[in-house]
Every structure is written in structure tokens, then in C-alpha cells.
Amino acid sequence: MNRTLCTSVLFSRAFGKCITKASLPHSASCFGWVVPFTYLAPSRSHSTNIKVRSYLQYMKRKIKPPPSPPYPHICQVGDPVLRAQAAVVDPQAVQSPEVQEVIHTMVKVMRRFECVGLSAPQVGVPLRILALEFPERMLEDCLPAAREARGVTTVPLQIFINPQLRVLDGRMVKFQEACESISGFSASVPRYLSVEVSGLNEKAEPVTWQVSGWPARILQHEMDHLEGVLYIDRMDSKTFINVNWATHNE
Ligand SMILES: [Zn+2]
């Protein structure tokens, strides 16, 4: 199972899927730019494909305008919305149709992508809203040993608006995690063992939640999204992997 924290955190057989992607400036400079003799012009078919695709895209946009946030998809690293600091939601506006639509879309997207957490910036909305959910069926996908080691427990759907995080246990634990905004990659990231989050729920009621283990990791990952921070900013870079690296050798 590859669950991202966003976010989905991931743990299971491949441990890792959610997350980021490191650029490859080194290899690009080695092979791309320094070997001009191997330069090949794009093939005609490739060029034709691009033209056909561009034309189809053009026609599609003539008929149907591009989607606007909140998106039904998850924004990918490189999108500026993922690097911006999200804005505080006016508590009076929590139950407005606009904010409720954002929450509704987040939950829908989170479930569709089988994430265990999602932040509003990931659907293109720079507001301080988080959603978390770890259903029983996902827990069943998790091997018992991994469940115990990571402190994985089920989490009913929870929405936090304007969340504040407080560290309850400052010890750090490292586990592989991933993020749907850095699709196809994973890395080991240190996170606090236990935290408390407080904020408003979707009904604008004040809520506080103390958690440790895996849910605490999910929360820290999602909180980072509100500051424009991605797990790749905190990871042990030598553990960064393409989750499908082995299949490339088959
Ligand atoms: Zn994420």
C-alpha cells in the first residue's frame, strides 16, 4: 500500500508514495549539456504528437474553460501555491458556501486519491485548512509490525481550520513518508513523537486534539503545507527514492 500523507503518508510494502521530487541538476548538467555531440533533433513523430496534443488542448479550452480552485486534483510541486504561506480563515466565514465548498472538495479529493491527510493549498486554495482521515480499511492494509512501530491508528474524518500546533513530546522519530503533491517519491523524515493541534472544525466550533505516532506525523506534514514547507525540505536526502525505482530495472 502506498499511502501518502497528504498527504498521505505512506507506509506499507513500498513505504512511500506521496511526496516530493528532487530535481536532478547534477545529472542534467553531466549528460544534457556537456555532451553536445549526442544532440538529436526531436523526431518528426514526437513533434507531430506535440502539435496534435496542443491543438486538442486548444480546442478543449475553447469549449470548456480550465478548472479553477478548489481543484478536483492535487497540485504538484512547482505550483507556487505550495510554497506560499496560507492565509487565516475569517472565523465568521467558516460556514460560508465558499469555505464549505473548499472543505467538501478537500474531503472528496483526499478520499479519491486515498490520502490520509490533505491541506487546502494542495487543491489550489491558500487557506489554513486541513483534513485528516485514516479509515479502518487502510489500517487493514498496514502490516501489524509496521502498525506497531509507527503507532498507526485509525482517525475519523477531522477538519482543522486555522490550526495551531504544540509539541507535547520533543523526541524525533524518522519514518518514510510521501506526499501526493510530489507524486511518485518518498523519503525518511524526522517528526515529533507527540503533538497537540487546536483550531476550529467545519462548524466553526473550537477543537483540540492530542495525538502521537502516525496521526501526529500526518498532522505535522499537513501543518507544514500551510507554511509552504514540503517534506523534501526536512527529509534525510539520502533516503529519497522514486517508489517505482525497482520496476525501471525489470
Ligand atoms: Zn503533502
- CA of residue 180 to ligand 1 center, whole Å: 6
- CA of residue 155 to ligand 1 center, whole Å: 17
Question: Does residue 191 sit in helix, strand or coil?
Answer: strand
- One digit per residue, pLDDT tens: the chain, 250 residues? 445 665 443 333 332 332 223 332 233 233 333 333 333 444 455 556 667 778 888 888 788 888 899 999 999 999 999 999 999 999 999 999 999 999 999 999 999 999 999 999 999 999 999 999 999 988 888 889 888 999 999 999 999 999 999 999 999 999 999 999 999 999 999 999 999 999 999 999 999 999 999 999 999 999 999 999 999 999 999 999 999 999 999 9
The alpha helices in the chain, defined as continuous H runs, are 25-27, 44-63, 97-112, 136-141, 144-150, 214-226
User: Does residue 56 contact residue 63 with C-beta atoms inside 8 Å?
Assistant: no
- CA of residue 66 to ligand 1 center, whole Å: 24
**Which among 248, 246, 160, 161 is positioned nearest to 211, based on CA atoms?**
160
Helix (H) and strand (E) counts for the chain? 6, 6
Compute CA 14 distance to the chain's CA centroid, rounded to the nearest angstrom.
17
Degrees to nearest 5, angle at CA 139 with 138 and 142:
95
Q: What is the set of active-site residues?
A: 222
The burial of 53, by beta-carbon neighbours within 10 Å (0-12 exposed, 13-18 middle, 19 or more buried), is given as: exposed
Say how far apart CA 129 and CA 131 lie, in whole Å. 7
What type of residue sits at position 93?
A: A
- CA of residue 96 to ligand 1 center, whole Å: 26
* Structural domains of the chain in order of their starting residue, each with its CATH number: 61-249 (3.90.45.10)
Q: What is the pTM of this model?
A: 0.79
What type of residue sits at position 138?
A: M
Largest CA distance in the chain: 65
- CA of residue 141 to ligand 1 center, whole Å: 20
Q: What are phi and psi of 216, to 5 degrees?
A: -65, -35
